[in-house]
Structure 1
Amino acid sequence: MNKYWFYIESYVYISIKNGKVLLFNTLNSEIAISDNPDVISLVTKLNKRRNTQVALITDEDLSNQAVFEFINETRNKFMSDYYETSLTKKKPFQFIPYIKIHREIKYLKKETESSIGENIKQYINKVVIFLNNECNHSCSYCNHAYKQYYTCTKSNTNEELNYTDLLKFLSQLKNLAVNITLTGGNIFKYKHLFDLIKYLKDNNFDTTIKVNYKNYLDFFDTINEYNINSYISIDSDISINALQRLVNHSEKPNINLQIPVGNEKEFDTISNLVNEYPQLELEYLPYYRGDNIDFFQKNIFVNQEDIRSTKPTYKSILINTKINKNLFGQLVITPSGNVFSNINAPKLGNLNQNVKELVLKEILSSNSWRKLRQNCIPCKNCNFRLLCPPISNLELSMKKNNLCHIL
């Protein structure tokens, strides 16, 4: 009886969940799926770390129709191959990629805060600051979209962030590659706004503002002097005159227009308006408001082909086992001075605490930065869990991890 070394290429991702095996070729995005017990048994043996995706098979294995067809399919999709053992003296070895983040969590848990060092602050890449929550407008998306995209929002508490405390906090982030995003209610009502923007520019922070067009238009010339990135939200009730003014402003390369849409009617209304201006670069933000799940199921939920079309790399798959790329490194500050790793997560602390202390607390938890599909129901039981994009604020706000037609 002939013997063969059967191997699955090292660039192929393997997952075995719920009585099915999935192979994904990260070079060409081909997929092979089987629910045959013999195929699952073979791939399970291959997938043990010590076997490095190599296993011994025989003519008897190849006589099994399901196994033979699976091997042929994966060979044709450049996922696997086999050859006679007589061609080599030893079992072949493959190097299977493995990822290790800067400092593994298990080591951080053993160290005290004082011994960690300042380098831990380098994990921070973005700080979203809600400067205030006062605004005179009542936009349709106000109470929903901010938890999904950090758009502006308002509250009847009329709070305003303490400027002195904010500067002390930001001083700890100097010389780090951190984006500072300023939003809130109408941020132009924040009396320290332009002093703050000047401070951020003087200290080389990458600075962004996120505002509604109704509050933005009167301050365009002033904001433009600082040459910062501006994300302007518009909605379906925008007037032709206001849209024309935005069109004139949007010629600036750092002006970005965002359109929150909650249903097809809103989408159609705003699309008919902006279609008159093909030069506009627009980003549509589908937002959930509690009663529009049908809109998401029809337009947002993904299927297997959608996932394949994103062409996940082996690197991105490995990263998805360690951190949430959508959320990692972010802090959120509210007008009350509270600090969160995510607006949908529990409070970390407040502005008066050391940044290092806040970062360490978040890293040791799984509230946001390490919110992984492989740990969340129902995604943890899905073979596509590491191929999908990481969980985002949209899923967290909806309290629904699987925006898909797979589970």
Structure 2
Amino acid sequence: MMVGLPAPGDGWDVSTWANPDDDDGWWPGIYQAYAVFSGISVALLGLAFMYAYETTDRYKRRKRLKRLALHAVMILFGAIIIIPASLHFFDTLAQSVAPNASEFFSTPGNLGKLGVGLLLGGGLALFQSSIVLVGIGVLLAIFVAIHFLVAFWPLFWVARLAPISSVEWVGNAGIAAFYALCVMRVLQSAFLRVMFELPWDPVTAGGGSAIAALIMTIIGLYIAFITLPRTFAKKAIPGVQMLSSQSPSSEDIREGYQESRQRIGNVKGRFEQIRSGSSGSTTPAHQREGSTSSFQSRAYAGSGGSPSGRTDVGEVTGSSNRALTGNSGDGSTSSSSSSSSSSSSGLSDSGEVDSGTWDNRRYKARKAARRGHQ
């Protein structure tokens, strides 16, 4: 419980890994949940297979299929050999590094270390009960977390295939947490080994060394069972998750750049179509501008205006008035001219520009230009 890892079956009997007995703790129920989640994951692998064939690029498709095959192997063979082998390996390594009970009872000095440790634990329970409760809570949390991470193992691996970054992050974090806890147990065992080897005998090592060893033991226990799990939760798990995630390759960056350029070209073409549709013509913009300029030049030349193709508001307005009042008498002509001159200024009685006057003037100018062309 202090440094070991829960593992299914017997470590030296591979046949018991995939079929844990009923007296093997939580593992029978965990494996039943694993079977249910494996069925869901296999169904989701079908969607991942369809997503792999969504692209027309052979390189990208082959890359997705290889990744899909690897994740399928991790799901199908996880409970059979991958998870049990990992847990038994780290459990054996952690327990071989940590001091065992026989070493504590081997010599009187080591037995004294055990007695001092029990007294230290009792003193902390009386005066600093919160630290003891936190340490026990960490040990229980590690024990429970290992079982739950094994149960959700298939879902973690299929989540890593999701095209959504948040879902992929969940899969990477789950797999990283599993192996981070295994490594942390080995480090805790290493701390216990170092503290066990410190000289505690005041006769042989001296009073100062014994007191220093006692203080170092208190600090080491706090680091091993409180600070180290907290550090792993904040730093190590996100770091391993970042390393296990797929970083973009140069090929992916190049494909993203080409797709971005294609999208920009599509937007530009769509903008040109909207401009063409708003003017009522399907010709390109440069041809439409050229034809409009030549058309205006011919219209102005026919009405006695300037053939330069530039829009002169006064001339166009005068030609518009002449075209509209060409069949009237002199009196009507002079009145139209006076009204035209008064309206050509584009000013209202208050001296401000009247937008309606400008719109009316543009309409008459276009109408006069069309009549001049005819």
| TM-score category (smaller protein) | under 0.3
TM-score w.r.t. length of structure 1: 0.19
* Larger RCO, structure (CA 8 Å, separation 6 or more): 1
TM-score w.r.t. length of structure 2: 0.20
Larger radius of gyration: 2
**Larger proportion of helix:** 2
**Larger proportion of strand:** 1
